[in-house]
Structure 1
Amino acid sequence: MDFEEVRQKVQSLLPAEQGFEVYPFRIGAYNASVTKEFYLSYDSGFTRTSCALDSEHNPIADFLNHRLKTVEDQLNGQSYEVFHDHSMWPNRRPKIVMCTCGHVAGAAYYYQPKTFASEIWPSAQEMAPNCKFIGLSLHPIYGGHFAFRFAILFKEIKVPNDFVEPKPQMITLTDEEAREALDLFNYHWMDSRFRDVGSPEKRYSKLQMNYFWDATS
Structure 2
Amino acid sequence: MFDRALKPFIQSCHLQPLTDPVDQCVAYHLRRVTESLPELQVEVIADYELHPNRRPKILAQTAAHVAGAAYYYRRQDVEADPWGSQHIAGVCIHPRFGGWFAIRGVVLLPGVEVPDLLRRKPPDCVPSRADRINLLESFNFHWQDWTYRDAVAPQERYSEEQKAYFSTPPAERLALLGLVQPSKEPSTPPEIPLTKLEKPRGRSWLSPSASPPASPGP
Structure whose alpha-carbon radius of gyration is higher: 2
Aligned residue identity for 1:92: R
Residue from 169, 172, 176 that aligns with 2:123: 169
For structure 1, which runs of at least 5 residues remain unmatched after alignment? 1-14, 20-56, 126-131
Partner of 1:122: 83
DSSP 3-state at the match of 2:168: helix
Deviations 1:83-130 (A, max 9, x none): 221223333333222212111222111111112152x622556xxxxx
The Cα RMSD (Å) is 2.7
- Equivalent residues of 2:27, 2:46 under 8 A apart: no
Partner of 1:8: none
Residue from 97, 103, 109 that aligns with 1:142: 97
Question: Which runs of structure 2 are paired with 1:26-105 in the superposition (5 Å)?
Answer: 58-76=20-38, 78-105=40-67
DSSP 3-state at the match of 1:185: helix
Aligned pairs, number: 157
Compared with structure 1, are the counterparts of its residues 59 and 95 closer, same or farther at alpha carbon in structure 2 (3 Å cutoff)? closer
User: How far did 1:172 drift?
Assistant: 4.0
Compared with structure 1, are the counterparts of its residues 172 and 186 closer, same or farther at alpha carbon in structure 2 (3 Å cutoff)? closer
Q: Which runs of 4+ in 1 moved over 6 A?
A: none
For residues 66 and 83 of structure 1, what CA distance do their matches in structure 2 show?
12
* TM-score normalised by L of structure 1: 0.63
Compared with structure 1, are the counterparts of its residues 203 and 166 closer, same or farther at alpha carbon in structure 2 (3 Å cutoff)? same
Aligned residue identity for 1:202: E
User: How far did 1:141 drift?
Assistant: 0.7
For structure 2, which runs of at least 5 residues remain unmatched after alignment? 6-18, 171-187, 189-218
Compared with structure 1, are the counterparts of its residues 172 and 71 closer, same or farther at alpha carbon in structure 2 (3 Å cutoff)? closer
Larger strand share, 1 or 2: 1
Larger helix share, 1 or 2: 1
Aligned residue identity for 1:141: R
Partner of 1:133: 88
For residues 133 and 167 of structure 1, what CA distance do their matches in structure 2 show?
23
Partner of 2:106: 151
DSSP 3-state at the match of 2:103: strand
DSSP 3-state at the match of 2:110: strand
